[in-house]
Amino acid sequence: MSYIVDSHWVKDQIERLGENLVLADCRFVLGQSESGRNAYAESHLPGAIYVDLEKDLSAPVGEHGGRHPLPDPQLLADRLGQLGIRSSSTVVAYDDQGGAMASRLWWVLHYLGHDKVSVLNGGFAQWVKDGYETTKVIPDPTPRTYVPQIREGLLLHAEDVKARLHRPGTILVDSREPKRYLGLEEPIDKAAGHIPGAVNLFWKEVLTTQGLWKNEEDLKGHFAQLPSDREIVVYCGSGVTACPNVLALKSAGFANVKLYAGSWSDWISYGENPVAIGEE
């Protein structure tokens, strides 16, 4: 199953799979926590459930863990089950934020051992543009039992990243926009800069100018500076917009890709951690 699917494919699956297909509306705007849910209430794909970045896919913010800490895996699994997702479900996630929020759900499910999960190319806007129906009807999903099969090697914590600093076999990828990576500005977190040794690959560059995901060959070109035989560790501000870079790297054929889920907001919560400013 492809990581990226188009509206036509999703339409066919709605008719073919029925309740075995779960459409997940992940629209969410940082700093406007109800905007995505409100947009969902106004119009969404038929049968789609709403998955909230902060209420469903993040734990409460603490001293460490960043601005969107990952919940305990079993709590995640329990919540997915409550939303009507089971281990055998085919899941298609979508948003209207370039795939950033949908990719968070894609990564979470991938981490929990789920293979049949994809992101809708172009999101909700593309679905509408392609002429497919939407609805205001909010489904009442049947609770399921979700049995996680954790892929431990996909997730790193601050101590893991610190142990890898300047290690020849590892490349750190900072997914934030260049001004934040360089430390020229920091509108969200308490300190500016980046993790020493990281290269900057802004996550939005995996999209075309039309807002669609680049194809496999174009993604390979985009990531050409990264050796395919290295361990790639991806981070962003809080572990959300790193996920589309992870998805894109996997789509481009990189096998050893890991997420630092706490990301920059977690890194700087440890006062002893080093910080770099400017170009590497």
The residues assigned a catalytic role are: 236
Nearest to 76 by CA among 56, 49, 93: 56
101 by DSSP, 3-state: which?
helix
Find out whether 258 and 233 touch, Cβ atoms under 8 Å: yes
Q: What is the dihedral of CA 5, 124, 220, 3, to 10 degrees?
A: -30
The sign of the torsion formed by the CA atoms of 52, 58, 59, 63 equals: negative
| Contacts of 183-190 spanning 24+ positions with Cβ under 8 A | 183/275, 183/276, 183/277, 183/278, 188/67, 188/237, 188/265, 189/67, 189/237, 189/264, 189/265, 189/268, 190/268
Beta strands in the chain (DSSP E): 4-5, 21-25, 49-50, 90-94, 117-120, 155-156, 170-174, 199-200, 231-235, 257-260
